[in-house]
């Protein structure tokens, strides 16, 4: 099967045997709560037998953290009396692609069904995003489109080398600053060009790739797509970059703030809505639809953006999901620290992009708050759900545009603990929009993350206190 055939193939239960006729193995994966792929390599015959019925997948993976430790805050899927039954993993044939750096092994996503209730698993990230996509299509007859720009840092390291030196003295693949350099990528040309080509073959197209501020820092813009596909592409991009980097003796990290002295790594989300005719609902093609806020923003756009901004403080735990995430939010250091928006304003939490900077059909906003450490399915889903709530409830913008004399609104949380409190509040927008069942589970996983940090003794403490106190 040629690359072109693979990219364009639509897999169905009727043709899946033919598509896989020359294969022996198939790779399948689910997405966990931290956005990490968890999966296995299956014999083709076992996979084909599971296409219609699904296969067992342990629920225990939603009772452990990214380091496979049980949550210190009790969740449904862990505990001394938990039976660790299987969930049902249902193969998503539409997610078919082949992994170029793994001998073109076929790959599929699966989504999880709770085997005891026969309902989609409420904390499965792909299910979470799918529910937002379904609401958009059913309530607005519209499709959400999305793209994410990821910054990440590449080191001349491996997991073993970093472990041996206690994660200190990390060696980046390039030194110093040089944004948009045409010289630095040449030093690592094989890595950069193989990544571009292999990702294209893997149906995870990158629109652009360039060096960013800091040693070994790159930024990649994932090609705009419908929200469901964007979630898949962005999650696959992060794992793929790690694997491709390893093939070239490099470690790629999406940690939000690896260096105290440099800006952190962002995960900016661009989003728009398209109607059934493919027309952008954020642009007022009909002058009567123009908002009073800005002549090139539709009323729908204003309500959507208002929903996102009102919901922002209570979904920060999703947009900044780790303890380290909050080290990015430093004044005048390229990460927004408040509920704010502006037209072509990169100091704002949400940057509105309208003509003449772009075409009417590419009108959109860029949410500049998220870090590169997001779980893409959850982050895209949460932003979309808040925006749809904003339309449904006709929300108004909480602050005016920065460049029009507007002031910064509510400060954003400066710690994971603060963001968890905001999400967990009984009256939070997150509870209204994301649902209590999901919020209760997710809050517990983040409380665990904070507890783990609270118990850690850091190098900072040793250097500051050991001799002098």
- CB-based contact 253:170 (threshold 8 Å): no
CA atoms within 13 A on the CB side of 371: 28
- CB-based contact 110:91 (threshold 8 Å): yes
- The label of the residue with tokens 């600053």 reads 177
User: pLDDT of the chain along its 469 residues, tens only?
Assistant: 554 556 778 999 999 999 999 999 999 999 999 999 999 999 999 999 999 999 999 999 999 999 999 999 989 888 777 788 899 999 999 999 999 999 999 999 999 999 888 999 999 999 999 999 999 999 999 999 999 999 999 999 999 999 999 898 999 999 888 888 888 888 899 999 999 999 999 999 999 999 998 899 999 999 999 999 999 999 999 999 999 999 999 999 999 999 988 889 999 999 999 999 999 999 999 999 999 999 999 999 999 999 999 999 999 999 999 999 999 998 877 799 999 999 999 999 999 999 999 999 999 999 999 999 999 999 999 999 999 999 999 999 999 999 876 778 999 999 999 999 999 999 999 999 999 999 999 999 999 999 999 999 998 999 999 999 9
The second-level CATH assignment, the architecture, of 3-121 is Roll (3.10)
Cα–Cα separations (whole angstroms), residue 207 to 37, 360, 416, 452 = 23, 20, 32, 38
Say if residue 463 is exposed, middle or buried (CB neighbours under 10 Å; 0-12, 13-18, 19+): exposed
Which residues have C-beta within 8 Å of that of residue 336, sequence separation ≥ 6?
Answer: 329, 347, 348, 349, 368, 369, 412
Which residues have C-beta within 8 Å of that of residue 394, sequence separation ≥ 6?
Answer: 303
- CB-based contact 378:127 (threshold 8 Å): no
Q: CB count, 10 Å around CB of 7?
A: 14
- The label of the residue with tokens 């970059």 reads 241
Cα–Cα separations (whole angstroms), residue 230 to 29, 36, 43, 222 = 17, 16, 28, 8
| E runs forming strands in 302-425 | 341-343, 350-353, 364-367
- CB-based contact 221:149 (threshold 8 Å): yes
Pair of tokens at residue 258: 């690896």
Reduced to 3 states (helix: H, G, I; strand: E, B; else coil), residue 141 is coil
Give per-residue burial for 339-352: e unless 16+ CB within 10 Å, then b.
Answer: bbbbbebebbbbbb
Which residues have C-beta within 8 Å of that of residue 13, sequence separation ≥ 6?
Answer: 51, 52, 93
Hey, what CATH class is 133-412 in?
alpha beta
Domain residues of the chain, as ranges?
Answer: 3-121, 133-412
Which residues have C-beta within 8 Å of that of residue 263, sequence separation ≥ 6?
Answer: 213, 214, 328, 333, 334, 335
Question: Taking Cα atoms as reference points, which of 327, 425, 422 lies closest to residue 373?
Answer: 327
- CB-based contact 251:155 (threshold 8 Å): yes
3-state SS of the chain: helix, strand, coil percent to 5? 40, 20, 40
pLDDT for 175: 87
- CB-based contact 216:172 (threshold 8 Å): yes
DSSP 165: T
Pairing of strands 105-114, 25-31: parallel
DSSP 264: -
Question: Taking Cα atoms as reference points, which of 78, 59, 65 lies closest to residue 323?
Answer: 65
Pair of tokens at residue 193: 């060009």
- CB-based contact 436:429 (threshold 8 Å): no
Please give the Cα distance from 394 to 388 (Å, whole number): 10
Please give the Cα distance from 29 to 243 (Å, whole number): 15
pLDDT for 403: 81
Report the predicted TM-score, pTM, of the whole model to 2 decimal places: 0.96
Q: Distance between the two ends of the chain, CA-based, in angstroms?
A: 68
CA angle 35, 414, 163 (to 5 degrees): 50
């Amino acid at each position: 099967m040629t690359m072109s055939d693979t990219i364009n193939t639509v897999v169905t239960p009727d043709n899946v045997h033919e598509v896989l006729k020359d294969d022996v193995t198939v790779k399948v994966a689910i997405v966990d709560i931290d956005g990490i792929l968890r999966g296995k390599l299956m014999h083709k015959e076992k996979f084909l037998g599971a296409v219609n019925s699904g296969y067992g997948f342990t629920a225990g993976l939603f009772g452990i953290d990214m380091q496979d430790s049980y949550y210190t805050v009790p969740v449904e899927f862990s505990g001394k009396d938990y039976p660790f039954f299987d969930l049902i993993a249902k193969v998503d044939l539409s997610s078919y692609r082949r992994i170029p750096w793994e001998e073109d092994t076929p790959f599929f996503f699966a989504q999880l069904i709770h085997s005891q209730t026969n309902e989609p698993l409420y904390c499965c990230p792909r299910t979470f995003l799918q529910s937002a996509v379904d609401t958009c299509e059913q309530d607005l007859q519209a499709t959400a489109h999305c793209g994410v720009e990821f910054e990440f840092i590449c080191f001349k390291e491996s997991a073993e080398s970093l472990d041996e030196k206690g994660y200190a003295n990390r060696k980046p693949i390039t030194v110093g600053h040089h944004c948009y350099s045409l010289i630095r990528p040449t030093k690592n040309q094989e890595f950069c060009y193989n990544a571009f080509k292999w990702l294209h073959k893997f149906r995870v197209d990158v629109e652009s790739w360039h060096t960013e501020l800091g040693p070994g820092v790159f930024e990649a813009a994932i090609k705009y797509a419908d929200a469901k596909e964007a979630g898949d592409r962005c999650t696959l991009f992060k794992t793929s970059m790690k694997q491709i980097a390893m093939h070239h003796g490099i470690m790629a990290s999406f940690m939000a703030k690896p260096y105290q002295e440099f800006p952190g790594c962002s995960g900016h989300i661009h989003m728009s809505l398209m109607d059934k005719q493919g027309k952008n609902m954020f642009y007022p093609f009909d002058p009567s639809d123009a908002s009073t806020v800005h002549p090139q923003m539709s009323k729908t756009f204003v309500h959507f953006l208002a929903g996102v901004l009102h919901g922002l403080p209570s979904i920060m735990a999703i947009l900044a999901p780790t303890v380290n995430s909050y080290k990015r939010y430093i004044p005048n250091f390229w990460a927004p620290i408040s509920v704010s928006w502006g037209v072509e304003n990169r100091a704002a939490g949400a940057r509105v992009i309208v003509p003449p900077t772009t075409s009417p059909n590419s009108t959109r906003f860029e949410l500049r708050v998220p870090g590169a450490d997001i779980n893409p399915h959850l982050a895209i889903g949460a932003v979309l759900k808040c925006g749809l709530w904003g339309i449904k409830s006709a929300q108004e913008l909480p602050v005016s545009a920065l460049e029009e004399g507007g002031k910064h609104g509510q400060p954003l949380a400066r710690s994971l603990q603060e963001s968890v409190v905001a999400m967990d509040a009984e009256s939070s927008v997150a509870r209204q929009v994301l649902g209590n069942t999901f919020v209760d589970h997710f809050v517990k996983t983040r409380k665990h993350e904070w507890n783990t940090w609270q118990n850690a003794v850091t190098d900072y403490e040793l250097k500051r206190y050991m001799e002098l106190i």
